[in-house]
Amino acid sequence: MQYVMFGNTGMMVSRFCLGTMMFGGKLDKESCERVVDEAIDCGVNFIDTADSYGDSEEILGQVLPPEKRERVYLATKVYRQHSRDKRVGRNSRVNIINQLERSLRLLKTDYIDLYQLHHPDDHTPLDETIDTLNTLVQQGRIRYWGVSNHYAWQLGFMLGTCQARHLNPPVSIQADYSIVNPQIERETVALCRRMNLALMCYSPLGGGILTGKYHDEKGNVKVQENVRFENERWREMLKEDEVVKIVQANRRVAEENDLQMNQSAVLWLKDKPYVTTIILGGSRPEHYTRIYEVADAELPCEAVEKLDAAAGPRIYSPFKNQPIEGGFRLPGQAT
């Protein structure tokens, strides 16, 4: 397993992070315990959950006794509304504190290593949100805070506000990123590189598309049963030319390099220097197992180029008249 510094923090995290969205759903408690133990045995020291992932936090609390909990960095998110009172903003002081207390109780821990805003909140003043998170860091109840599903400008604005007010800033962003969904290359990647923010990629297999299970060898859509996604919008998306081309390119790259399709898709992400950690997902214990086999592998350049080319039409380019990075001098930065 490889480890990297988590952005501007002092945490050194594994390049694979254990995603637990299916804990308590398709994965029962016994399977969750197997998945957690295997991850730790394979060198994973980072686990991601959320207050809105059903029983995930509660099960994690049960399968992570203190000696195991101390060996991992635990990340959770706030989004669920503690009260039925819809006037309470999800990122408000009231909701954050209530939900954090609930997460700590369920997870059976007295601190969270990374506490994340799962989504932006239109209703709560930003100052209230970041003041609350800053206080929680000072109290030691959370070690760091980050965001998820925010646009680059929103995160940039938060960083500027924290800097101006001398508050603990967000250290990371968790974003949907895979060959089939490379949109964050538009703006978020440049922001992360420039500000040394940690980038955590979720849905590295596009929710399962990149395993090839939704298409036959010729690229025709196959009907699947008992899968996470099964609706009209999903079926239409599977038929899109670009999606079919991406799946086919990944299939060829996997075959040429003696890999499984889930392995080649994850390696494409792992090779990106700006990707801090990849959040692995699965609805069966074996979904995770094969990924650890390639923890120290790399894709050959030609394979990366083939997958880049397939993802290409979905990737944005910098403006022709100026680079995407740079643009102003940072405080204290030399010219």
Ligand X SMILES: NC(=O)c1ccc[n+]([C@@H]2O[C@H](COP(=O)([O-])OP(=O)(O)OC[C@H]3O[C@@H](n4cnc5c(N)ncnc54)[C@H](OP(=O)(O)O)[C@@H]3O)[C@@H](O)[C@H]2O)c1
**Which residues contact ligand X (rule: CB under 6 A)?**
19-22, 26, 48, 148-149, 174, 202-208, 211, 213, 227-228, 262, 279, 281-283, 287
**Collapsed DSSP state (helix, strand, coil) of residue 199:** strand
Residue 311: CB minimum distance to ligand X, A: 15
| Type of residue found at 273 | P
What burial class does residue 181 get, using C-beta atoms within 10 Å of its C-beta: 0-12 exposed, 13-18 middle, 19+ buried? buried
Query: Could you tell me the two tokens for 198?
Result: 């940690």
Query: Could you tell me the two tokens for 12?
Result: 């050194």
| CB neighbour list of residue 14: distance below 8 Å, 6 or more residues apart | 1, 2, 3, 43, 44, 45, 46, 277
Nearer to ligand X, 89 or 208 (CB): 208
Nearer to ligand X, 189 or 205 (CB): 205
Residue 269: CB minimum distance to ligand X, A: 10
Residue 318: CB minimum distance to ligand X, A: 26
Nearer to ligand X, 114 or 191 (CB): 114
In terms of DSSP H, where are the helices of the chain? 29-41, 56-63, 66-69, 93-107, 126-139, 152-165, 188-195, 232-239, 241-256, 261-270, 285-292, 301-311
Nearer to ligand X, 182 or 208 (CB): 208
Residue 25: CB minimum distance to ligand X, A: 9
Nearer to ligand X, 89 or 206 (CB): 206
Give residue number: closest CB to ligand X.
281
Residue 164: CB minimum distance to ligand X, A: 27
CB 297 within 8 A of CB 258: no
